A and B are shown apart, each in its own frame.
Chain A
Amino acid sequence: MTGVAIEAHGLGKTYGRRGGGHRALHDCSFRLPAGRVCALVGPNGAGKSTLLNLAAGLDRPGAGSLAVLGSTEPAAVRDRIAYVAQDKPLYPQLTVADTLWAGAELNPGRWDRATADRIAGTLPRTARVRTLSGGQRTRLALALALGKRPELMLLDEPMADLDPLARHELMGALMAETAEHGTTIVMSSHILTELEGACDYLLFVDGGRVRLGGEAEDIVDAHALLTGQARDLAPHTVVESRTTGRQLTALVRKEGPVDTAAWAVTQPSLEELLLAHLRSPDAPPLLTPSASAGVRAEGVSA
């Protein structure tokens, strides 16, 4: 569990014409230690899917470098990665049984039939994939991903199509997998509450770069919600502040001890923290030491 699953340096990706293209990722640097369950969160269009695509080796970065499971060529370690893309690509004309059989054939030496069968659960084995509902397709895609017994799972919006019961069951299966095998899991979502509790690591991507990265607990601990009479907030870094009459409410990044005589201090929830950062695009990024990529890391504090 001491290795590094993903490390990015100055990663950039632009879609479309040079100059007039859309910058999906720009100067994006971070590190994800192995064995973590990481929530990849951010608004729509933040660059989450682009990042997962690059990590899965399905696309090449336009700038910077990316190492996955120790390889600077993610495509070369694809047999150790499972990637479930947002649209759950499966062969529509195959049956469920055919799909599971193909999973076994395409992953010789690693395939875990028992796990794949357990996750596929009650899916009718003779049904063709094109007749399955969105949630059933997600279940089948996750059965393939878990059956592969990967070291790194990249899951793009894995819970979006699932009903609450299936969501709980499949999230439990993913957690069991990482408990037993130390699998690194990256799950994207724009709904944080979907992932809270399951994830111990956070990458918050916004505008093509990582704005918050590290152990979810440490990131929350680095901040405080202050309420009190309007006054100077120095030395703390203000993420967001609001004045109502004489009262000031501020979400700050703590720089040293907080004066508890002057302020009522509470700990923000992770969700409050993300919302405050979304409303304040100029707040400086925060990467904890474990999330800082090598020598080029900037904005580090903890």
Chain B
Amino acid sequence: MATESAAVEFRIDRRSGVATYLQIVQQTKQALRLGVLEPGDRLPTAREVVEATAINPNTVLKAYRELEREGLVEARRGLGTFVRRTLGGAPDATAADAPLRTELADWARRARAAGLEKDDVGALFTAVLDSTYSTNGTDPVGRSHKGDQKR
């Protein structure tokens, strides 16, 4: 098999209600956003994933096809599946000391000080996020999630 070890591993939560292949897609995207995965990195082979998670190999291949369709990874015959590009407009925006992150951390502290529970903050954040991003409709990431929540 491949000589170099894969850059990430997947956690499958069977009770989450999210289709298994979608969990792999989402975790890969999350890793891309956080810079855990970079262009050139190899994703684990289907064999490696199923040996660790005991899920069906076709589920892994379906997830990789989806990632490939979105142009995030590419399959190289006999070598494996490799990351083509990162996600997120500004790659540095998620770094620990990035200005946006610092501001958000400040805001979260103020919300807590104002007596908001974690769930309240989550709901508030989601609501603002939804209204902000629905106005320009340029989120290519969210599209594939519809109607796929359960298997």
Contact = CB atoms under 8 A, between A and B. Distances in A.
Contact of B57 (A168, A171, A179, A216): A179
Interface residues of A, number: 20
Contacts of A94: none
A173 interface: yes
A217 B20 CA distance: 12
A172 B56 contact: no
B92 interface: no
B14 A175 contact: no
A175 B54 contact: yes
Nearest to B58: A200
Interface in A205-220: 216-217, 220
Interface string A130-170: 00000000000000000000000000000000000000100
A197 B55 contact: yes
Nearest to B17: A269
Contacts of A179: 45-47, 50-51, 57, 60
Given A196-B14, A200-B56, A175 B151 contact: no
B46 A172 contact: no
A222 B46 CA distance: 28
A53 interface: no
Interface in B47-76: 47, 50-60
Interface string B62-103: 000000000000000000000000000000000000000000
B150 interface: yes
A72 interface: no
Contacts of B59: 197, 200
Contact of B51 (A37, A173, A269): A173
Contacts of A176: 47, 50-51
Nearest to B47: A179
A267 B56 contact: no
A282 interface: no
A194 to B, nearest CB: 11
Interface in A265-281: 267, 269
Contacts of B45: 179
Given A37-B56, A172-B51, A180-B47, 13 more contacts: A168-B54, A175-B50, A175-B51, A175-B55, A176-B47, A179-B60, A197-B12, A197-B54, A197-B55, A197-B56, A200-B56, A216-B151, A220-B151
9 contacts: A175-B50, A178-B57, A179-B51, A197-B55, A198-B56, A199-B56, A200-B59, A267-B150, A269-B150
Interface of A: 37, 168, 171-173, 175-176, 178-180, 196-200, 216-217, 220, 267, 269
Q: List 8 tightest A-B contacts by C-beta distance, closest first.
A: A175-B50, A179-B57, A171-B54, A176-B51, A179-B47, A172-B54, A172-B51, A179-B46
